[in-house]
């Protein structure tokens, strides 16, 4: 089967939604399929062919930022065809299945000719920040075959479109993120993602940890991410800017007792899965993007969003209760091991076969 995934512009930086597509691409090509990843020229909201063409000409003249034409941060199978800076749908390869992977690519895919493949929409989040709620909601009604990654997205898309989409749950490749239930030497250490997107709530997370530090004097924090770090951080907050995967696994997740996840919006938090299988207890906002694997008081702790005192109390509870800590680590690892890439790839491929027929 010829499968073409359409992504927004390539900035060649670590991004969870891109990573999921790269993982599926590797799996599908290993199963004997012909896989292409097509990156649009415009990295953000812009489904107008004439405007994209104008920007492309501006790039040629050196007047507009140009996207990267390589992927260096993830080991893609060399047999996967990569097409960069696609301006119009006519440039897409002919395929059996054409897959939109975001709201901005959904409109692009919807306009493609029949030879480009049967059209699917792999929905990873409710991306209202791109161009507003109406634009996002309409993308679910473009006539593409909607596929979602989480239960909350299934409910949302069904409400907006009138059709119930299948769920292909996210997963973790545990050949790298090895299960780790050894938590006893990690001390009072908390990991937190540094992110520029306000909905990730990094600033709020730092407020939680500053309050916690007053009650737990030996608290240490591992702050990590690809974005520039906040200025004037105290010495007890250790920063890891654009860390290598080994550092992420062994020092950040593997060196932390708790992973603080205060986000207000996640399609499906991949960092939470990585932390959980690495033996860090996930203390997260009670939002749809984590509920498929963070089960309150069973595999982690779910807290009312933006409730500072409740977050502080939850982390202290883990620090003080060894039996609870051990149980959450053990059950968390078990939960993640049940979310396999093989099972999800098979489900996605079966959907593609059904749509293609």
Residue found under tokens 């749809």: 288
Asked if 85 and 64 count as a contact pair (C-beta separation under 8 A), the reply is: no
> How high is the pLDDT of residue 66?
63
- pLDDT tens digits for range 205-255: 999 999 999 999 999 999 999 899 999 999 999 999 989 989 999 999 999
* pTM of the shown model: 0.82
Tens-digit pLDDT profile for residues 142-191: 999 999 999 999 999 999 999 999 999 999 888 888 898 888 889 999 99
Give the tokens for residue 100.
Answer: 């939109």
CA atoms within 13 A on the CB side of 233: 21
Residue 33's CB is within 10 A of a number of other CB atoms, namely 18
Nearest CA to 31 out of 351, 349, 285, 352 is that of 349
Coil, strand or helix: which one is 178? coil
> How wide is the angle at C-alpha 190 spanned by C-alphas 185 and 191, nearest 5°?
115
Q: Which residues of the chain have pLDDT under 50?
A: 43-47, 50, 52, 56-57, 59-61, 63
| Spatial distance between the Cα atoms of 268 and 301, rounded to a whole number of angstroms | 16
CB 187 within 8 A of CB 204: no
Is residue 95 a contact partner of residue 38, using CB atoms and an 8 Å limit?
A: no
Closest CA to 118 of 103, 143, 96: 96
pLDDT of residue 351: 98
Bridge partners, residue 191, by sequence: 222, 259
Strands 237-241 and 258-261: unpaired
What was the pLDDT predicted at 62? 52
Q: Residue 169, Cβ neighbours under 10 Å: how many? A: 17
Angle at 356 between CA 353 and CA 357, to 5 degrees: 90
Give the per-residue pLDDT at 45. Answer: 44
Measure the CA–CA gap between 275 and 253, rounded to whole angstroms: 5
Please count the CA atoms within 13 angstroms of the CA of 137 that sit on its side-chain side. Answer: 8
Domains and CATH numbers, the chain: 2-171+340-356 (3.40.50.2000), 189-337 (3.40.50.2000)
């Amino acid at each position: 089967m010829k499968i073409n995934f359409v992504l927004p512009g390539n900035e060649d930086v670590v991004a969870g939604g891109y990573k999921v597509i790269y993982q599926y691409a590797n799996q599908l090509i290993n199963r004997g399929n012909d896989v292409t990843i097509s990156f649009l020229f415009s990295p953000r909201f812009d489904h107008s062919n004439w405007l994209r063409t104008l920007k492309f000409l501006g790039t040629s003249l050196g007047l507009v930022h140009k996207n990267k034409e390589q992927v260096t941060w993830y080991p893609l199978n060399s047999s996967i065809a990569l097409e960069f800076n696609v301006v119009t749908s006519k440039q897409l390869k002919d395929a059996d299945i054409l897959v939109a992977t975001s709201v901005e690519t959904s409109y692009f895919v919807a306009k493609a000719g029949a030879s480009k493949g049967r059209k699917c929409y792999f929905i990873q989040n409710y991306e209202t920040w791109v161009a507003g709620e109406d634009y996002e909601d309409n993308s679910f009604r473009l006539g593409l075959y909607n596929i979602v990654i989480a239960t909350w997205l299934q409910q949302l898309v069904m409400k907006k479109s009138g059709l119930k989409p299948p769920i292909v749950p996210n997963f973790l490749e545990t050949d790298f993120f090895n299960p780790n239930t050894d938590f006893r030497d990690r001390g009072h250490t908390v990991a937190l993602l540094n992110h520029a997107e306000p909905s990730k709530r990094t600033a709020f997370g730092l407020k939680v940890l500053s309050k916690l530090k007053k009650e737990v004097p030996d608290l240490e924090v591992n702050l990590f991410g690809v974005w520039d770090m906040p200025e004037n951080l105290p010495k007890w907050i250790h920063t890891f800017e654009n860390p290598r995967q080994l550092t992420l696994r062994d020092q950040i997740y593997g060196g932390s007792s708790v992973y603080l996840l205060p986000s207000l919006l996640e399609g499906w938090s991949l960092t939470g899965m990585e932390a959980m299988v690495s033996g860090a207890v996930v203390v997260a906002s009670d939002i749809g993007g984590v509920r498929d694997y963070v089960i309150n008081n069973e595999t982690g702790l779910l807290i009312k969003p933006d409730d500072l005192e409740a977050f502080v109390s939850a982390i202290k509870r883990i620090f003080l209760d060894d039996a609870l800590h051990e149980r959450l680590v053990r059950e968390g690892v078990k939960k993640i091991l049940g979310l396999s890439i093989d099972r999800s790839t098979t489900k996605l491929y079966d959907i593609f076969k059904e749509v293609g027929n």
